[in-house]
Structure formats: structure tokens, C-alpha cells
Amino acid sequence: MFRGSIPALVTPFRDESFDEEAFRAFVDWQIDEGSQALVPCGTTGESATLTAGEQAQVIRACVEQTAGRVPVIAGCGSNSTALVKQYMKAAEEAGADAALVVLPYYNRPNQEGIYAHFAALTEASILPIIVYNVPSRTVTDIDPETLGRLARLPTIVGIKDASGDMTRVTAHRALCGQDFIQLSGNDDMALAFLAMGGVGTISVTANVAPRLFAEFHNAYLGGEREKALALQDRLFPLHKALFSDASPGPTKYALSRVRPGFRAELRLPMMPPSDASRKVVDRALEHAGLV
């Protein structure tokens, strides 16, 4: 259903407002470059600083511009179950193909609370749900056994795993079934994740290098392991550079280098990357052959 290179899209801003024209052009470029699905309103899209109205606008613009060419997985996460239900309803009405739902943050629910959260969402919407596990941001973590329970629910179809624990790919295969969709949430670990049984990556790097990252996935999933390894080596400095300062600052800066006219504007509390970070990004872009 969902596989390959899937960028977690940045949200362009102009004078502190959502720049819909720039976003629609960005969506077209991503599809033309080979991205196999799109995620609006994820963490990289600065979803935490969007209003509910803006979030619905971004998702609707993405669905409309995509026009069925690739799936749209709408970011719908919150630490409030009731609010996620509202986001999922809006995404469903906009025509999204699935919802990406991060584990509840700040509240720090126990495993039973995590299960109940997602179970309630399956009853509130028909949208397929991809669970997003990123303990470095949420503090909350989902045990493989809890995910295995959730995988028995009909609309829980996969996970974006940014735990950094590679052994979980195998554990999830055993507990959730081999058809359960496993997507890496760490670009720098994508090669190992695929080797363990994953089928793709919800990616930050794909914002900047969509064609190269799509080629990397196509090569590995198509059995061209040496080509995939060469592309991994080419992209690895960029994977690291885009987190050399608070994300998505370095990513928006990189986009301003590879897409002339792209505005690297961020919304507070995010700030532009430091001089040191920009230099690291510049070197990584040169290494990847993107500038």
C-alpha cells in the first residue's frame, strides 16, 4: 500500500502565512522526481505550529495537487485523542489516503493508554492509520507487544519507526505479520531498515533529494544492492547534515539552495540554522552532487 521514498513535506511560509502556491509547486516537483507518497503536516512540516484550520488547508492542497498520482498520508497527530479524531475527520473529508498519528506526547500514557488511544481512532474514522513512534520527541514509546495488539485492528496498517532500535523490525514482523507496513523514520538507518524487512522511509532528506532517495529505494527493493549502497554513501552526509541544527531549519535552508526562489522561512519557536550548520549542509549538498 505504502512503500519507497515518502517525504515528510516541509510547509512553506511567506510573511508568517502558509504559502499555498509554493507548496503546490513543491508537491508537483516531488512527484516528478519520483517520490512514491507524500506526508503533509508531519513534524518536518512544523505541524506543531499550525492552527487546525491551516492543517486542514495544507492537507487539502496536497490532496488536490496530487490528484491521485501518489498516495497522501496526512499528519494527524496530537496528545489529545479527541483532537486527533477531528484532524482525521478533516483529512478524510479532504480525500487523504491514510493518517500518520504520532504517539501521545507530554501526557506519557502507559501501554494500555496508548492502545486505547489508537483503538478509539479506529472507531472514529475509516482512514488507515500509520502509527508514528519517535520517543526522542514524545518520550512515550510503544512496546512491540502493544503494536502487535493494535495490528489486529483493521485500520492499523503500519508503523513509522524512529525509535532507532533496529531489532524492532524483526520483532514487529513476528508480532504484526509480514504484511504490516514498516517504514523507517530515520534516513540514516534506511538501508539497514530495508535489510531487516522494512519497505520504505518517511523521510526528511527526500524533501531535498527526492530523485536520489527514490532511486535508492527502487534499487534496494529491486534487488540492486550495490547500487543502493552507493546511493547510501552519497546521501549519508546529507542525512546527518539536515539534523545539524533544529529540524526543519537545515532542510529549508538546503531547499533554498537546490530550488531557487524557495523561501527558508520558519515559524517561531523555530529559528534559522547556525552558520556552522549551513556550512555542513553546503558540504553535504556538494557531496551528493545537488549543487
132 is catalytic: yes
User: DSSP labels for 71-102?
Assistant: -BEEE---S-HHHHHHHHHHHHHHT-SEEEEE
Q: What is the pairing mode between strands 13-14 and 17-18? A: antiparallel
Nearest to 5 by CA among 255, 280, 215, 262: 215
Residue 119, judged by CB atoms within 10 A of its CB (0-12, 13-18, 19+), counts as middle
Q: What angle do CA 96, 68, 74 make, to 5 degrees?
A: 20
Based on the residue annotation, tell me whether 220 is a catalytic residue of this protein: no
Residues 6+ apart with CB under 8 A from 41: 11, 47, 50, 55, 58, 59, 74, 75, 76
User: 132, 220, 252, 253: which is the annotated catalytic residue?
Assistant: 132
The one-character DSSP state at 135 is H
**Contact (Cβ atoms closer than 8 angstroms) between residue 66 and residue 35:** no
**Helix, strand, coil share (%) of the chain residues, nearest 5:** 50, 15, 35
Cβ–Cβ under 8 Å, residues 9 and 62? yes
Looking at residue 69, the DSSP 8-state letter turns out to be S
**φ and ψ at residue 257, rounded to 5 degrees:** -85, -40
Hey, what's the cell of 276?
A: 556552522
Active-site residue, selected from the candidate residues 87, 160, 220, 252: 160
Query: What is the C-alpha to C-alpha distance for residues 260 and 266, in angstroms, rounded to an integer?
Result: 17
As annotated, the active-site residues are 132, 160
